């Protein structure tokens, strides 16, 4: 966001992948428990989880770490798309 070249911290790619797979596993459990039997209902479960868990955590970083608002939008938008798409796929798969 500052104009510098952004490079990922490669040593954290595997732990990040594991974290995302864990998030999808929990989302699959939530979809199973709520009997969401379609892609759209799975997507709604994913969006509710995003609103309830991701947004508040990122708001903490916005307030306490003083990240720029554009970075907040980028982070939450990335998670929004990922959780909505994962929820849709998992709900349709049920």
Overall average pLDDT of the 4-17 stretch: 83
Task: State residue 94's pLDDT score.
Answer: 78
CB contact at 8 A, 90 and 40 = no
**Taking the domains of the chain in order of start, what are their residue ranges?**
26-93
C-beta neighbour count of 22 within 10 angstroms? 10
pLDDT in tens, 41-87: 999 999 999 999 999 999 999 999 999 999 999 999 999 999 999 99
CB 91 within 8 A of CB 42: yes
Helix or strand run (H / E) with residue 69: helix 69-93
pTM value is: 0.82
Cα 72 from Cα 92, distance rounded (Å) = 30
**CA gap 38, 60 in Å, rounded:** 33
């Amino acid at each position: 966001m500052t104009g510098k070249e952004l490079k990922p911290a490669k040593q954290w790619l595997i732990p990040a992948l594991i974290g995302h797979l864990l998030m999808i596993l929990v989302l699959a459990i939530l979809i199973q428990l709520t009997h969401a039997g379609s892609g759209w209902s799975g997507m709604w479960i994913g969006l509710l989880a995003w609103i309830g868990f991701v947004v508040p955590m990122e708001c903490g970083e916005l307030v306490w770490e003083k990240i720029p608002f554009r970075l907040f939008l980028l982070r939450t938008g990335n998670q929004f798309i990922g959780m909505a798409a994962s929820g849709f796929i998992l709900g349709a798969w049920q």
